[in-house]
Amino acid sequence: MKRFLQCIFTVLLTISTVACSQPTATTQTDTSTPQPTMEVTPEPTKAPTPEPTIAPTSEPTPEPTPEIAEAPTFTDEGYYELFGVMNTGMLVASSDLELHSNITLKEGGGGSMSYEEQTMDITKWERKDDTVSITMTDGGTANAVIHDGILELDINGDASMIMLFAQEGADLSEYKFLSLEEVKNQSN
């Protein structure tokens, strides 16, 4: 798994280096002759017409109670799709990085992880509290925080590089993504 994850890390590092070295677009200031402005006089406002009041003839109809949608429930087992990568605290959407990866956790402790065109079997995974420990075919291991259909996979084991995976329907609203341009600006 270490070689597999090192490959992922190398690609991510290359992408972040490329993102940080792209030239910044400049905008030109309009230096043409200023246009004359036209003064507008507001129209006088009219007093609102009072609405007639009608005495109730029967008891008021109760307001319908809005239906509250049930939050989806997630199991640990299932298919998780990569949606973001956090490197040194900066979170970028996987679509901006053009990265494709997924993890499948199967009942009984097996599964697989795919990154781009490579796939490796997960020989064992187990959950303890909010942490999932994953062991790959080559004996490499990684831990992930799991909650509400989301896996936060700690690639290096030191929280410097985290790959974020989600099951379909998971709420991603708590994640604030940076654009590649914002990453570049923060890196300088």
Q: What distance in Å separates the CA atoms of residue 114 and residue 95, rounded to the nearest whole number?
A: 16
- Whether 49 is covered by a domain: the verdict is no
pLDDT above 90 coverage of the chain, percent: 56
**Beta pairing partners, 161:** 87
In a domain, 51, yes or no: no
* Residue 155 covered by a domain: yes
Q: Does residue 110 sit within a domain?
A: yes
Number of domains in the chain: 1
Give the pTM.
0.67
Nearest partner of 9 among 180, 157, 155, judged by Cα: 155
Confidence of residue 20 (pLDDT cuts 50, 70, 90): very low
pLDDT at 188 (0 to 100): 77
Does the residue 107 lie in any domain?
Answer: yes
Q: What domain range is 83 assigned to?
A: 2-17+75-174
Is residue 72's pLDDT more than 60? yes
Name the phi and psi angles at 66, rounded to 5: -65, 140
CATH, residue 146:
2.40.128.280
Q: Which two tokens stand for residue 167?
A: 């099951």
Name the DSSP class of 48: P
Q: Does residue 66 fall inside a structural domain?
A: no
Residue 48 pLDDT > 90 = no
**Tens of pLDDT along 78-131?**
999 999 999 988 999 999 999 999 999 999 999 999 998 899 999 999 999 999
Q: Is residue 24 part of a domain?
A: no
pLDDT tens digits, 143-159: 999 999 999 999 999 99
* Domain annotation covers residue 113: yes
